[in-house]
Amino acid sequence: MSKRVVQIGVQEVAARVREAREAEREWARRAASERAGVMRGVRAAFLDAAEAIVDATARETGKPRAEAWLGDFIPNVDLFGYWIKEAPRLQRPERVWLNPINFPRKRATIELVPRGVVALITPWNYPVSIPLRTIVPALLAGNAVVWKPSEVAPEVAGLVADTFEKGGLPRGLLTTVMGEGDVGDAVVRAEVDHVVFTGGLATGRLVVRAAAERMTSCSLELGGKDAAIVLDDANLDRAIPGVAWGAFTNAGQNCAGIERVFVTREVSKKFIDGLVAYTATLKSGSDVGALTTDRQFEIVKAHVADAVERGGKVRVGGKPGRGKREFEPTVLTDVARDAKVFTDETFGPVVPVEVVETADEAVRRANEAGYGLTASLWTADEAGAVKRARVLECGVVSVNNHAFTGAVPSLPWTGVKGSGHGITNSKYAFFELTRPKTLLVDRLGAAREPWWFPYGSRAEALGKAMVEVMRHGPSRVPGLLGAFASRWKETE
């Protein structure tokens, strides 16, 4: 394990947070352009470590090396570049217009300043991509980060942390601690300024409660139960492999993986037959990897068994594969609506397909889930898809594609309902990692403002004159100026 990723006890967390805060004070004083220069060195170190990071990711998570490259490593090259360019721009002071009549001789600016120490808790399914979505912009904003990665992928976490040290990041700004859930709880309860958590809904609720005790702000991404909607006019030659990838990439261990498909009746047989045939061609190991943990393997088995017990039909797959924790890519039909594969997050290579009569019914069914992360519409009617996208209750909608926007740093990744309210990627994520600070400068003028004490008849007259201007516009400005002059004279 890396020297920067250390197994620690709960009692040590507070000291690590204090060290991070000391480092952050100096870091925040640096110019944004200087911080960007440091991050360019980190990006170079990250590229140098490519093979080692990919090897460790595949080994610890069980995913194919191709997915480790394309899902965990390559997107971050763009991510570094995007934030190195955008963070300094976003932190430039913004001049704000002030009404010169209401607020004469005043100048106001808004700056985005760092929150301070950001606590970051991340899962094992994408052990490189998910943490870097927060670490890179948080550091560029001037924060320090205390990162509690998943204990399932400690080697990957160590290698990622090492790239920041090798790239020249000052010590203490990225503090990476390893441990079980009690360590994560201690990090949230420590003297941090903001919490970013990606994980399950049940744990997310605990994080919110713990943070609320200290009035600490939270950003939460808590998974999904994503739907794909396949309509009559869909290009099935694209929809079939697209839905299969969305359902089975990363062995289904993707918060935005397709876990429900609603297909209109007219094309249902052709689509289902095609999806079953395509799924049967996928190869274990090279296409669909193993489940990462024993617990997740057992959940997937239980969800399939529950669907079958309720009358569901296994069209392909449905049983463990040959390798350890492998589960065959599975397509189910005729599944009861209250089955776990329709109501709970499966997080595995299993997808139920339900036939619906209309597109509107498909949208209603998609919205019934307790989650709302992403969804996809597969159709040739772009205008109709855009209208339906606006009523889908989720944070991201794709048309004729699914889920890949998490790899686009300029697009916000966010959800609603049980998927949480956090944001990664885009300027909107940067707004969560900073806070606006207003600076108002009053150029020396009169001894007092018109609204200061003492009040009197002239102050009341000024208020009435301002209302007249609001009602009738510029024609009443002379009267307002007279009231102003009278009030200013009174305050001198």
115-164 pLDDT, tens per residue?
A: 999 999 999 999 999 999 999 999 999 999 999 999 999 999 999 999 99
Give 5-222+426-437's CATH code, choosing from 3.20.20.140, 2.160.10.10, 3.40.605.10, 3.40.50.300: 3.40.605.10
Residue 278, CA distances (Å) to 233, 268, 275, 281, 330 in order: 20, 15, 5, 5, 11
- Could you tell me the two tokens for 307? 């669907």
For residue 218, indicate whether it is catalytic.
Answer: no
SS3 for 402? Answer: coil
Concatenated DSSP letters of 20-73 = HHHHHHHHHHS-HHHHHHHHHHHHHHHHHTHHHHHHHHHHHH---HHHIIIIII
Active-site pick, 67, 255, 326, 432: 255
Exposed / middle / buried, residue 383 (Cβ in 10 Å: 0-12, 13-18, 19+):
exposed
Which two tokens mark 146? 């205390």
Chain centre distance of CA 86: 17
CATH superfamily of 226-408: Aldehyde Dehydrogenase; Chain A, domain 2 (3.40.309.10)
CB 92 within 8 A of CB 36: no
Same fold, 5-222+426-437 and 226-408: no
pTM for the full model?
0.94
For the chain, helix, strand, coil in percent to 5 are 50, 20, 30
Decide if 221 is catalytic: yes
Dihedral of alpha carbons 75, 81, 86, 87, sign: positive
Preceding peptide of 154 cis, ω within 30°: no
pLDDT at 1: 47
Report which DSSP code applies to 372: E
pLDDT tens per residue, range 301-328? 999 999 999 999 999 999 999 999 999 9
In order of 106, 148, 261, 420, 455, the CA distances from 467 in angstroms are 22, 56, 58, 44, 18
Give the number of other Cβ atoms within 10 Å of residue 241's Cβ: 15
From first to last of its 492 residues, the chain has per-residue pLDDT tens of 454 566 788 999 999 999 999 999 999 999 999 999 999 999 999 999 999 999 999 999 999 999 999 999 999 999 999 999 999 999 999 999 998 878 889 999 999 999 999 999 999 999 999 999 999 999 999 999 999 999 999 999 999 999 999 999 999 999 999 999 999 999 999 999 999 999 999 999 999 999 999 999 999 999 999 999 999 999 999 999 999 999 999 999 999 999 999 999 999 999 999 999 999 999 988 999 999 999 999 999 999 999 999 999 999 999 999 999 999 999 999 999 999 999 999 999 999 999 999 999 999 999 999 999 999 999 999 999 999 999 999 999 999 999 899 999 999 999 999 999 999 999 999 999 999 999 999 987 778 888 899 898 888 888 888 888 888 877 777 777 677 767 666 655
| Domain-wise residue ranges, the chain | 5-222+426-437, 226-408, 452-491
Q: How far is CA 307 from CA 160, 330, 362, 375, 481, in A?
A: 40, 12, 20, 22, 76
Alpha carbon 30 to chain centroid, angstroms: 27
Catalytic residue among 221, 326, 328, 345: 221
